[in-house]
Structure 1
Amino acid sequence: MYPIWSKFDLKFYIASTTDRFKGGIYLADLDMSSGELSLLKNVDNKEYISFITTDSKDEYLYAVSTSNNKIYSYFINQDDKSISLVDSKPLNGLIPCYISITTNNNLLFVANYNSSNCLVIQIKDGIMNIADSFVYEGSSQNKVRQESSHPHSIVPDKYSKFVYVADLGTDKIMIYSINSDEKSISPASPYYKKLKPGSGPRHLIFYNKYYAYVINELNSTISSLSVDNRSGNITENQIISTVPSNYSGTNWAADIHTKGQFIYASNRGHNSIAVFRIHEENGKLIYIENTDVHGEIPRSFAIDPTGKYILIANELSNNITCFIRDYTTGKLIYTGFNLSVPVPQHIKFI
């Protein structure tokens, strides 16, 4: 079922990493009645912005750059969604690839892929103070991609009680407790969960307080996890492929999101979005379909807050494609609308 909307729009930011064109952060518009996309303006031209997010009130935008390994905070003008720089900090690490924020907006977390560390940053009114750094060691089965630790995401749970680090290089999910002062974190017990060797956990999301899902880049799978919300411990219940069984080409699974009772995952190589239904009784995934993204190398994607549209950032084809989502079946249909953006990395609705 596809809902009918009167004409209104939603704005979103796009992170771009190119230095061959004018990269940085773009502001764009999604027409909710048709799915048409419009590029409004470049709101910041810093190079190689790899990831962006906002606080829970959409008052501040945070962005990381892989060209200088810094994090930036911006105040968001609520009238036209332009942004003004508030603060910047060196990250004491290499290749920042993920940012997340607790629901109370006290703590911000950054994963540094190449320096094998994650940062805890205290934030208030856009001002940032680096409070702690956790450094990881180890390796795993893939000698090229897993020669050392490579944290690829760091994610608080929905209640800002625990924090989870997906380490692509060691096949581990590290677990931390957010301390009672809500300004620091400590290793939980047990401290980590080991996944299948060579899987390469990349991004982790929560469906509710009982179930979480991690997309594994190197073997193109999703691990379904049960979560003990008292201890933070996780148990792997299922491993399911993100590509069809008859596909034999190269693929790197990338991004994962949930909406309603569905899970969506992007495939770079197969160039598709895999769609799954969540089993309400056990949290396991039921495969529905793979949908062509109409682009190349879908690094990330975003579902609009209403759940009607999915926007896909296709890194190699330099475009963002728009799909309408069936609320009942979870299936996706291409709207025919796409937006030309140089090397899009990440999308954040505002």
Structure 2
Amino acid sequence: MNVDSIPGRVDTTAKGRQSNIGRIAKFTSQYGIFVFLLVLIIVSGAIAPSFLSGQNLSNLVLETVPLAIVTIGQALVIMTGGLDLSVASIMATAAVVGTSFSGLPIDVAAIIAVAIVIGAVTGLVNGLLVTKRQVSPFLATLASMTVLQGLRFAYTKGAPSGGMPHLLRVVGSSTWHGIPVNLAVLIVFAVIVGIVVHRTVLGRRFMIVGGNRVTAQLLGYRVDAIVIGAYVASGVLAAIAGIVLGGYAEIVDNQVGQGFELDSIVAAVIGGAALSGGRGTIPGALAGAAVLMLASNVVVLIGLPIQAQIVLKGVVIVLAAACYVQR
């Protein structure tokens, strides 16, 4: 007698297959971007041996850190169901501020303080527009981006001159025994924000607010304050990233950080953040930023023309998204 034909018998084979598929899907959901990053590193080393050289890896980290810092803030905003297009303009404004002071240590402290205030105020305005005036995040942050750009061009007359103070250049472009100094800045902010998001009640509230604001309100959460806080954090992190990037570039112009608004959104999303809100991780956001910068780095090393670089970067984004954002 065929045991499979016994009435009421559960098909354990089918259940086993479903269980395996579920485990694979869960693994892909949680770790897909890291697996993809590892594979991309291996492939890059195979097609461009100079990729794995110490000098290239050090330069890659130096270039990745500013985007990674911005992406952390962008991920926070996306987790609450918004997005921030003003980050690149905040970065450029912070970098311009860096050229407006002398190189004395007290002036470096003033640069950082002024830049943080600019980022925080911009984030506060963005958050208030989104929560109190019900302006869409796209329009609110686009308006802030445009206003900052206009103020910056008026202040610099379109052509800022001068470089960043020596101390900020050290932070942005120097290495210590081959390890980029700016990596320490990234680690500090990544650890702080990571603990808040993944180990505190506030972090869970970020996710709940992004997933369903009505539910969050019924639970008694201060939804507006949480959303505003995310935009303020994004603005502050963008300002810090602008200073770091300005230190790396050394000579600042009005285009510092150009394109980072979209790159940070892409990095956060391929790192697992949902544009609809309610989901995302800080490690995933960092991995997403690394994928973007690694793709740009390797196409330069193999000598592809700019058109091919753009196409290949797009292909990498699609593949990373397929590996991680399929859920």
Instruction: Identify the TM-score tier after normalising by the shorter chain.
Output: under 0.3
TM-score by length of 1: 0.23
Higher relative contact order, chain-length normalized (CA < 8 Å, sep 6+)? 2
TM-score (norm 2): 0.25
Higher Cα Rg, which structure: 2
- Determine which structure has the larger helix proportion and give its number: 2
